[in-house]
Amino acid sequence: MLDPNNYESTEALNPDELLEYGSASQVEIDGLESDVDDLKAKLKTKKEEMAKHSKRISMIFHAQESGASLYRLKDGGITEEGPDLEGSLPLGPAPQQEVELPLDDDTPLEEAADYEEEELPDEGPGFKGYPDEQDGQVYKAKGTLGNTLTVKQSATGWTGRISGKPVAINLGSARDAMAGVEDYLNEDFVLDWQPTIEIAEVSEEDADAEFGVEL
């Protein structure tokens, strides 16, 4: 016999109360089983993560011993396989080319040539709608298929990239790199290239005042 002070009631449980106790216990069991399943899933995930990091460590040791190169992937992993800079990107089907209508028979050829020259100037700032070139600037645009396009200057020239992959490399101007990217994508129209860095323009008078030299 236990101490009576440990009992909530001195009366024995009736059948309804026993059923209520049993149901409550089953609910607790179901909840605990669910917790166990969640913990098992987390344990499996943690073990997979541990295996992934162990594999990376093995790759690093192997590369150090063999002198192989490793490359960082966007998902945080590493690989011994170098990027295929000469291959093609999985950019999907090329946009359908718009049919170019023939010139009107009554239109003189010289007038037609003048019209094309006015619409598509072949030199100077704003060529085919491209922004003015600025040293050190980074230009970005979106392709028809949603690709991230970048044109950036380096010591060897301007390079255009599609989703990080260089396709127009070390060209003489930003305009050439932009056009090279568009040609690679087979774009029909000039894309909306935008500068992403705010570069302050300094006038000759400001430069003379600040540096004490004549430009």
pLDDT tens-digit readout, 14-70: 999 889 889 889 988 988 988 898 899 899 999 988 988 888 898 888 888 888 888
At 204 the pLDDT is 52
Count of residues for the chain?
Answer: 215
Using pLDDT thresholds of 50, 70 and 90, give the confidence band for residue 210: very low
Q: What is the pLDDT of residues 71-125, one digit of tens each?
A: 888 888 888 888 877 655 554 555 555 545 444 444 444 443 443 433 444 444 4
- Confidence at residue 86, expressed as pLDDT on a 0 to 100 scale: 62
Per-residue pLDDT at 116: 41
Which pLDDT score is estimated for 95?
Answer: 53
The pLDDT value recorded for residue 87 is 55
Name the residue with higher pLDDT: 1 or 147.
147
Question: In angstroms, rounded to a whole number, what is the distance separating the alpha carbons of residues 24 and 22?
Answer: 5
Q: What is the DSSP string of 26-56?
A: HHHHHHHHHHHHHHHHHHHHHHHHHHHHHHH
- HSE-CB at 49 with a 13 A cutoff on CA atoms is 7
Separation of alpha carbons 213 and 215, rounded Å = 6
pTM for the model stands at 0.38
| pLDDT category of residue 1 using cuts at 50, 70 and 90 | low
Tokens of 143: 């392709």
Task: Say what the pLDDT of residue 205 is.
Answer: 56
Q: How confident is the model at residue 176 (pLDDT cuts 50, 70, 90)?
A: very high
Check residue 67 and give its pLDDT.
82
What's the count of helices (H) and strands (E) in the chain, helices before strands?
4, 7
Q: How far apart are CA 45 and CA 75, in angstroms?
A: 17
Residue 189 confidence (pLDDT) above 80: no
